[in-house]
Structure 1
């Protein structure tokens, strides 16, 4: 019985010291544990502007699918704009971009964006035989140097 009381007393003493030590470290350093922000894809505008390039994705609806408008105005290239309809799966927004370019309506191609840290980064990969869809979605490289950040939508 005496051994049990001594063991319990020692355990409480050790536990109490560890808790107090942790509190002292936080008080002395002034560092508090900060949780990383959680970013959620929302309805609104996501844009990149720089080096003469402007890319805008306006998400108008998020339900079973993500719907919106997408436009590219890249330096020294023809501008194009149209609609986007896709899905967000495992942080990858992938869908069909139907657009007008050089006065021609009804062009389509598949586009993909990686949703990470509150930004959408466009992905690139090998295209199928039609040249309008990705051949292997799992091998996309999200290497665009034009990440889209959430911004106010222009009226």
Structure 2
């Protein structure tokens, strides 16, 4: 229950901060993502970690059927840390999410696509564009996977 409340608080905080940002961006959240979630959550459904030298990232996912909600944190050496919430959809072996995050006091929004291969999630890389301040992929069919961040499933704590 505490995790669910934490995620809900993060989502609300991000949305409030987005409304108060200097750029005055309009962001729409699909509330149906949360409407079919099974609550209360005592722990995430799946947990993942990425490590490469001094770079780390963690991903906690809560989901039911084709809908995904979670928390994501990147901590790359000598780069700004960022953390926030993800929400999106699972279709086949592909997970597409919107990542609303804060880095150095600035709130941002970008699209992330992962392909599941067994216990791994391979993050997609490709050409991006900005749409009203949100970073999106130009063509998801041209994404490359496996040459960047690869999350490995771990036991949730």
| TM-score when normalising by structure 1 | 0.66
Deviation for aligned residue 1:129? 4.1
Is the 1:43–1:62 Cα contact (8 Å) retained in structure 2? no
Match of 2:154 among 119, 140, 151: 151
Structure 1 consecutive aligned stretches of length 4 or more whose deviation exceeds 6 Å:
none
Alignment of 1:82-97 (within 5 A): 82-97=84-99
Of Structure 1 and Structure 2, the greater strand share is in 2
> Given that residues 68 and 84 in structure 1 are in contact (C-alpha distance below 8 angstroms), is that contact kept between their aligned partners in structure 2?
yes
Deviation at 1:64, TM superposition (A): 3.8
SS at match of 1:146: strand
Match of 2:76 among 63, 74, 77: 74
Aligned to 1:100: 102
Assess, with a 3 A threshold, how the Cα gap between structure 1 residues 50 and 128 changes in structure 2: closer, same or farther. closer
Q: State the Cα distance separating 1:117 from its structure 2 match.
A: 2.1
Using CA pairs below 8 Å that are at least 6 residues apart, which structure has the higher relative contact order?
2
1:110 is aligned to 111
How many residues are matched?
112
Distance 1:117 1:61 in 2: 17
Segments of structure 1 that go 5 or more residues without pairing to the other structure are 1-41
Please tell me the root mean square deviation across aligned C-alpha atoms, in Å. 1.8
